[in-house]
Structure 1
Amino acid sequence: MLKILIADDEILERKAVAKIIKGSKLDVTVIGEAPNGRIAIEMAEKFKPDIIFMDIKMPGTDGVQAVKAIKKFDPGIRFIMVSAFNTFEYAKEVMQQGVKEYILKPSSKRDLLDSLQRVAEEIISERKQQEEQQNLRKNLNRAVSIAQKEWVSSLLMNQVQDMTFDEWSQLLGVEITSGYMMLFTLKPTSETELTSFEKEKWYNWLKKTLKSIVVKHEIMVGAIMDTQVPVLFLCKISAEKNQFRTNAETIIENLYLLFKKENMKADMRIGIGLPYTYAHELTKSYHEAVLALEELLKTPNRKFLFSSKQGTAYEMPSDSEIMKVEKKLLDSVRQGDVNQVMLIFDSFVSKHGTLDAKTSFIKKSFDELFILISRMLHDLGINSERIPNLEDSGDIRTLLESGKTHLLAVVQHVQVWRNNHAKGMLQKAKDYIETHYAEAITLESAAEYVELSPFYFSKLFKDRFGLTFIDYLTEIRIKKAKAEMLDPGKSMKEICYSVGYRDPNYFSRVFKKLTGLSPSEFRKATVK
């Protein structure tokens, strides 16, 4: 309901205007009356009306002066100027203040209400546009956040190979020449474990703070897993070591200064991977950040640690085939294919030189692999607490056997999940689509409904039903549309809206693509 203030030095005029407004069917209410411009200013500041009926000629502060003063502290208030003087100079002066409505005394009831209705409709229309823009911005921000999490998650599992820095530059509108990963973790300062609320609070703080202090880079914050958060930094700076370290240290120092003010009952630790000039190499930077963080957690007094290619602790395989094998292995684990996993695992081990390699190097390679698998299980919603940990006896043969046993336990766990829990969740998702097909449902909303990440929900849905989410949704909508067409009393536009489409032309194109006939042609062929 819009709030109205009436400012006029003539009490009978104020009462007459108020009576007309109160007797109208418009969704408005009179919140006060002001006998002069000075009081009108005070009441406007106090009650914040939406519309003010303002008499131009009043003793002391006149209507034009009052409009100027009010617009300084609330430019959104609309004015309907009222005057017994039909002169251009008065109209010109109020028009310069953005006032569009001007009515003469004595004004008829019709003129007054027509003027009020025009202003009210303008306000309502503007507010509706603002609300739509806010919703659009909110949905866009949410979509961007989801996309960033999924891209980082895909990157960590070496499943994104086709995005170059040039393409990122075009997409983000800034020059990108290199990128690197940081891995953040929160470590409690006491023996008490962090609560889910504390972790989520830190995660939200980290996202917000990084985006406020990182000005020279573009960042993508991945999903939190337990207390670890991967962050991708895309930057214009050279990948040259000293420049990279200087910029990263500045970010970290500023971050820690703000972290201290939060008084969290935990310490924040950061492992930093090296920068790379090719996007497909960013997985290496993540692996390095993981290993740097592991080393860092052994040192109680250090807050962050950079990866170094010097020494065994941070040595990375030089053969790119290792990453390809790793990707195949992760895909096979997700499918629960024991035979394929065992074959690929042997290939993975052979890439590391097996018996010729150092035991510590193999152990760290296994640790990296199982960290990636653990993240994948987490995103799938699989509880991996019952899977035995990888044991390190110091003997390379025992280590390899332990790695294979551990991997086999993971795959068997995934098999059970796929046969039971996943099957039920995907059927639940299918039922959700069939119930809500007429609404603006998305892959993200369906994934959220079954508590899976959109990335894995999409993969599992395609594996299970042989169709992508959008293809299945389209199939359901067109099937329902065909059934609706049997009712000759329903127009094509009605049918279009009833099955979830908002654009009849787009509905027609989709229908023809799927059936080979336009909706009208299909109806003629089926309805006799």
Structure 2
Amino acid sequence: MLKIFLVEDEVVVREGIRNTLNWEENDFIFCGEASDGELAYPLIQKHKPDIVITDIRMPFMDGLELSRLIKKEMPWIKIIILSGYGEFEYAKEAINIGVTEYLLKPINGTELMKSLLKVKENILNERREKANIERFKKEIQEYEEDEKRRIFYDLVNNSQPLGSILERGNELNLKLSAVVYNIILFTIDHTRKNHRETMQLNAVNRELKQLFDISEDIIKFDLFMDGMALLLKGNSLEDLQRKQEYYINRIREIMDNYKGISYFGGIGVAVNRLGELSRSYHEASRAFSYRYIWEENLILDSSAISKTRELLRRTNRLNMDNIVKLDKRKVEIFLKSGSKEDVSNFVDEYLQSIGSENRNSILFRQYVVIDMYSIVAGFCKEIGIEDYELEKPLHNENQYSRLITDFNNTKDYIKRILEKAIELRDNITTKEYNDIVSKAKIYIQENFCREDLSLNQVAASVYVTPSHFSAVFSQKTGQTFIKYLTDLRMNKAKELLKFTDMKTSEIGYAVGYKDPHYFSYLFKKTFNCSPKQYRNSIKKREDSGCFNS
């Protein structure tokens, strides 16, 4: 029910309005009254009515001044002005203030209630429209995140014209233009073991989101299970460096508050053109790939890699007595989560610290070849793959001699078997993902008419977590879950509009929308015409130009 507040200095008129109108029968609540604007204003602030009825001429504070105050502080309140004066200037000023209705006295109860019902309908329509917009925004949030990802990958791969990318960015309120840029790739450990760790992870994500959302200097792109990309913008190289240091320090401060969550970051190189972001991304990716090698809780600058390598060479020269320092666990971890693109950097860095004395040792090279093959073959067996698909080091004597006579040959062999193992792993994963998506599509097809159908429910039906399902579904279909579901529902609605005589409200309900207003809103948002317009256009001719078919 809508709340009504009355401001009228004439007692007889005020009592007449309050006592003679059927408030409850028309879904109104008479919540208060006052004899002038000065007395009314604090009461209106307290009760926050939906509609204020006020006389225009009152002592102390008139209706126009009261209307100005109300519209400034509480712009959603609708105002009906009652005036015994028909002068144009009063009406014009009332319109400028934002008054909804301007009624001339004397006015009877029937006319006032008619005006109130008209204003009530406007309020309800505005609320429905606002609710529809908010719901639509919520539903397309996932789509917008997916489009942001696409924009990022198009930028760093130079796969689309820059003008087109900038236009797409503007549609999402992404201000991409700057003087200089850099990219930071960042990930945190998402493997939670208990409720407390899950709560910590959620808190970290909230703090990071707040940090990145408060400034236009940095744009966050969610890269699914690979973490996030941060596009840092500056007005000069010095300005960019200051901002980079600030954000890295803030990230570290946030992460240090959550000791149980590990992280790793890779910093690229500064560039002064969007078209050169591929170079920044490449360097950031190179630094980021060292998460498989170096310690956790590090944000690594790509420019520091060569210096760190040299330091490691000087301080960690190995020999056959301490060869165990080549940590096999790092290889096993890399095989489980690394990519083919990371193999070269991983192998180079993994073998970097062994020292020239070991690189020149045939015995060492024999050890590394056999050991690496053993690790990779064990991994293949673990995921159900026979090792006959791997290049065996002892296939024949000539091959084995070639592998160990030169350190580069040894290193190239290790890269080949790692790449092959990851390829085989990805083939299995692709099949599993295809099965997940196929089953999910069947479930969606069978349940799209349920209004409460959600990503969480579909993910549960295929036995994966919602975040994992969201990533897999988008990667395999090229659409977010909500976009896929909405397109399916809208196309089903078009079929029913075209081939049945069902009412629009019935069709909306049949495709999963109990609220007919929201269904019509979403249909128009999708096809640029209402369901009724679409149906009428079919009767005139097939596929009229008012919609996208």
Q: Would you say 1:282 and 2:281 are equivalent positions?
A: yes
Letter in 1 for 2:288: A
Q: CA deviation at 1:2?
A: 1.5
Paired position in structure 1 for 2:379: 406
Give, in whole Å, the separation in 1 of the partners of 2:87 and 2:525.
52
Q: CA deviation at 1:129?
A: 2.9
Q: Which ranges in structure 1 are unaligned for 5 or more consecutive residues?
A: 316-358, 375-391, 463-467, 509-516, 522-528
Distance 1:293 1:13, change over 3 A: farther
Distance 1:445 1:21, change over 3 A: farther
Instruction: Please give the residue correspondences for 1:106-505 in structure 2 after superposition, counting only pairs within 5 Å.
Output: 106-148=106-148, 162=159, 168-173=165-170, 174-175=176-177, 179-185=182-188, 195-213=197-215, 215-223=216-224, 229-233=227-231, 235=233, 246-256=242-252, 263-265=257-259, 269-275=263-269, 277-279=276-278, 282=281, 285-291=284-290, 294-297=293-296, 304-308=299-303, 310-311=305-306, 368=334, 370-372=336-338, 395-410=368-383, 412=385, 423=435, 426-427=438-439, 429-436=441-448, 450=462, 451=466, 452-457=468-473, 477=492, 485=499, 498=510, 502=523
User: Which whole-Å deviations, capped at 9, do the CAs of 1:414-433 have from their partners, x for residues lacking one?
Assistant: 89989999757743540331
Q: CA deviation at 1:93?
A: 4.9
SS at match of 2:54: strand
Paired position in structure 1 for 2:42: 42
Distance 1:442 1:313, change over 3 A: farther
Give, in whole Å, the separation in 1 of the partners of 2:166 and 2:62.
57
User: Which whole-Å deviations, capped at 9, do the CAs of 1:277-308 have from their partners, x for residues lacking one?
Assistant: 353883552242241685343xxxx8643234
Q: CA deviation at 1:44?
A: 0.8
Give, in whole Å, the separation in 2 of the partners of 1:476 and 1:87.
54
| Structure with the largest fraction of helix | 2
Letter in 2 for 1:272: G
Instruction: Please give the residue correspondences for 1:42-81 in structure 2 after superposition, counting only pairs within 5 Å.
Output: 42-81=42-81
Q: Is the 8 A contact 2:181 2:240 kept in 1?
A: no
TM value normalised by structure 1? 0.62
Q: Which ranges in structure 2 are unaligned for 5 or more consecutive residues?
A: 171-175, 311-324, 341-364, 386-424, 513-518, 530-537, 543-549
Distance 1:296 1:167, change over 3 A: farther
Letter in 2 for 1:403: V
Q: CA deviation at 1:113?
A: 1.4
Higher mean Cα deviation, 359-368 or 126-135? 359-368
Give, in whole Å, the separation in 2 of the partners of 1:284 and 1:361.
25
Letter in 2 for 1:129: E
SS at match of 1:195: helix
Give, in whole Å, the separation in 2 of the partners of 1:71 and 1:255.
42
User: Which whole-Å deviations, capped at 9, do the CAs of 1:450-476 have from their partners, x for residues lacking one?
Assistant: 4443452366679xxxxx978995999
Distance 1:449 1:480, change over 3 A: farther
Distance 1:364 1:307, change over 3 A: farther
Higher mean Cα deviation, 50-59 or 244-253? 244-253
Q: Is the 8 A contact 1:148 1:222 kept in 2?
A: no
Distance 1:38 1:237, change over 3 A: closer
Q: CA deviation at 1:87?
A: 4.4
User: Which whole-Å deviations, capped at 9, do the CAs of 1:306-335 have from their partners, x for residues lacking one?
Assistant: 2347549779xxxxxxxxxxxxxxxxxxxx
Letter in 2 for 1:121: E
Q: Is the 8 A contact 1:272 1:288 kept in 2?
A: yes
Give the aligned CA root-mean-square deviation in angstroms: 5.5
Give, in whole Å, the separation in 1 of the partners of 2:305 and 2:121.
70
Letter in 1 for 2:266: I
Q: CA deviation at 1:80?
A: 1.6
User: Which whole-Å deviations, capped at 9, do the CAs of 1:165-189 have from their partners, x for residues lacking one?
Assistant: 665444324337755333243699x
Give, in whole Å, the separation in 2 of the partners of 1:303 and 1:151.
27
TM value normalised by structure 2? 0.60
Q: CA deviation at 1:112?
A: 0.8
Give, in whole Å, the separation in 2 of the partners of 1:126 and 1:507.
20
Distance 1:140 1:116, change over 3 A: same
